[in-house]
Amino acid sequence: MNTKESDLSSILNHNRRHPRYLIATLQEIQSREGYLSSEAMLEVAGFLDMSSATVWGVATFYNQFRFTPPGKRPVRVCLGTACHLAGGQLVMEAVARELKIEVGGTTEDREFDLDRVACIGCCALAPVVTIGTDVYPKMTPPKVEEVIVELNPPSAHKD
């Protein structure tokens, strides 16, 4: 049994074996693993005696769950009201384009992952992006391109 399997079995043994504990179980797995793998969801389905379709349906209903491993540097685009009104959606599209991933995804090299957040409390700087612990204020699509190229220069890629 590898470490992941033993981690998962300790989570499953620790949680109650009843469908009402599905979300708590998924939350605990994500908190330990950083995401929900399809293997983990299959194990949860077996443990709770539920269909895998039901587990998948519940997990995908909630925004809190992610299904790809997290990147080293989480990129978060604020889409709270102030940021949304200041062009947050265009900024999000630019980040997704530059990283070549969708919201909830992780770059192939696992360097970055992308998600939206609600207000992070610095609306005067809207629209805001955070990368790791750094805050990037008043973002625009061209600034997104600059920042991503600076953090992840094309020479760092093999292709």
Binding site for ligand FES (CB under 6 A): 78, 80-83, 119-123, 126, 128
User: Is the CA virtual torsion 89, 95, 96, 98 positive or negative?
Assistant: positive
- How far CA 35 is from CA of 29, 31, 89, 138, in Å, comes to 7, 7, 24, 30
Q: Which residue is nearest to ligand FES (CB)?
A: 80
Q: Could you give the angle at which helices 52-61 and 38-48 cross, rounded to 10 degrees?
A: 120
Taking a C-beta distance cutoff of 8 angstroms, is the pair 92, 77 a contact?
Answer: yes
In which element (H, E) is residue 40 found? helix 38-48
Q: How far is the CB of 116 from ligand FES (least distance, A)?
A: 10
Q: Which residue's CB is nearer to ligand FES, number 41 or number 125?
A: 125
Q: Which residue's CB is nearer to ligand FES, number 26 or number 128?
A: 128
Q: How far is the CB of 117 from ligand FES (least distance, A)?
A: 8
Q: How far is the CB of 136 from ligand FES (least distance, A)?
A: 12
Q: How far is the CB of 41 from ligand FES (least distance, A)?
A: 32
